[in-house]
Amino acid sequence: MPVSSQEFRDAMARLGAAVNIITTDGAAGQGGITATAVCSVTDDPPTLLVCLNRTSPRSALFLTNRVLCVNTLSAGQSAFSNAFSAPSDEAAMASRFAVGVWGKLVTGAPVLEGAAASFDCRITEVMEQGTHSVVFAKVQAVRFAEMAAGCLMYYARSYHGLPIGQG
C-alpha cells in the first residue's frame, strides 16, 4: 500500500470538517450516528452524500429505511457529537434521543432542534467503496438556524466553533 491508514488519518486530521448527527427512522427502527463525511453534490436537484461505515451495525438501519436527516451541529452542541459517536445497543440508542428536542419534517427522520442546519433526505443510490457505503440522498426539506448559532467543527482531533468566538 503506497500510504498507510495511519498516515492518511494524520493528513485528514488537517482537513477541518463540520460535525453532523445523521439520523433515520422507519421499518428498521430509529437510529443516529455522528459523521463528518458529508458533502454537497449538486444543487440541481439538491443532493448530498454521506459516507457510512458498513462494519457498523447501525449503517443497516439507514439502508433499510431509505431516509436520513443530516443535522449539522451548531457551535454549542458538542455534547450531541459525543453521545452519538459511542457504539451502542438498541436501548442505549433510544436513550440518546431522550436528550435534546427532536422533531420531523417530511421523511420522519429525527430533526434536531437548534442544529445549524438540517437536511431531510430520501436515499436514492448507494455505492460500495471498501469498508464504507457512499450514500446519495435527495433533499426533501431543509431547516436552518440564524448564522449566529455558529457551526461545530472537528479539526486536529478536537472541537472548534465557527465563527471565532463561538463554542
- Please report how close the Cβ of residue 43 comes to a copy of itself at its closest, in angstroms: 4
Q: Are 150 and 75 in contact (CB under 8 A)?
A: yes
Q: Binding of a copy of itself at residue 103 (CB under 8 A)?
A: no
Q: 10 Å Cβ neighbour count for 140?
A: 16
Stretch that binds a copy of itself, among 22-30, 78-86, 88-96, 146-154 (CB under 8 A): 146-154
> Where is 78: in which H helix or E strand?
helix 78-85
Q: How many residues bind a copy of itself (CB under 8 A)?
A: 63
Binding a copy of itself by CB under 8 A: which of 28, 63, 93, 106? 106
* 85 is a contact residue toward a copy of itself (CB under 8 A): no
Strands 31-35 and 20-24: antiparallel
Query: Is residue 98 close enough to count as binding a copy of itself by CB under 8 A?
Result: no
Residue 131's SS3 state is: coil
Question: Which SS3 state, helix, strand or coil, does residue 141 take?
Answer: strand
Cα 55–61–66 angle (5° rounding)?
A: 120
Q: Measuring CA to CA, which residue among 52, 26, 24, 50 is closest to residue 38?
A: 50
Nearer to a copy of itself, 28 or 117 (CB): 117
One of 45, 86, 89, 98 touching a copy of itself (CB under 8 A): 45
Q: Pick the binder of a copy of itself from 63, 93, 117, 126 (CB under 8 A).
A: 117
Radius of gyration for the alpha carbons in the chain, expressed in angstroms and rounded: 15
Rounded to the nearest whole angstrom, what is the least distance from the CB of residue 124 to a copy of itself in the complex? 9
DSSP letter (8 states) at residue 145 = -
28 binds a copy of itself (CB under 8 A): no
Summarize as ranges the residues that interact with a copy of itself (CB under 8 A).
1-5, 7-18, 20, 36-47, 49, 51, 72, 106, 116-119, 127, 129-132, 134, 136, 139-145, 147, 149, 151, 153, 155-156, 160, 162-165
